[in-house]
Amino acid sequence: MKIVTGVVGNDVHVVANRLIDISLNQRGFEVFNLGVNTYLEEFMDAAVETDADVVLISSLNGEAEGWSRDLPVLKSRYALKDVVFAIGGNLAVGEVESSVIIPKFKLYGFDMVFHQVDLNDGLDMLEAYLKERA
């Protein structure tokens, strides 16, 4: 299964991105890692070019919401069929409950939202979700 990953926006936090790359490879995904400082349009372009099954976005510096607001418009512009969109990391500035964050990001068009969720737990949930919809 093909997966595009990276860190959205002007976000330089690279450590999680490296761990995500390694973990996804170990789980058998074909990984296209766009790295840090990646704009949402670049995720969409990469998803089209690679014919990806999943776009998995990280955000650590608190900018996630600003970037995610563009997702509905971009989704309507790109011909992406059945691509699963997941986002994780620190999705807010400061302390905000997941119960507030998750519905917001789902409205922006994310299928899976992982706010301050352990990476392996999140990837387990992603794999279970992909199996269920297969």
119 binds ligand B12 (CB under 6 A): yes
Q: How many residues bind ligand B12 (CB under 6 A)?
A: 24
List Cβ<8 Å contacts ≥24 apart for 127-134: 127/27, 129/84, 130/1, 130/53, 130/54, 130/84, 133/84
Active site residue 115: no
Phi first, then psi, for residue 59 (nearest 5°) are -150, 130
**Smaller CB separation from ligand B12, 19 or 100:** 19
Interface mask (CB under 6 A) for ligand B12, residues 27-66, using x and -? -----------------------------x-x-xxx----
Q: How many CB atoms neighbour CB 90 within 10 A?
A: 19
User: Amino acid letter at 110?
Assistant: F
Two tokens at 14? 């690279």
Active site residue 11: yes
22 binds ligand B12 (CB under 6 A): no
Question: Which residues contribute to the site for ligand B12 (CB under 6 A)?
Answer: 10-16, 19, 56, 58, 60-62, 86, 88-90, 93-94, 114, 117-119, 122
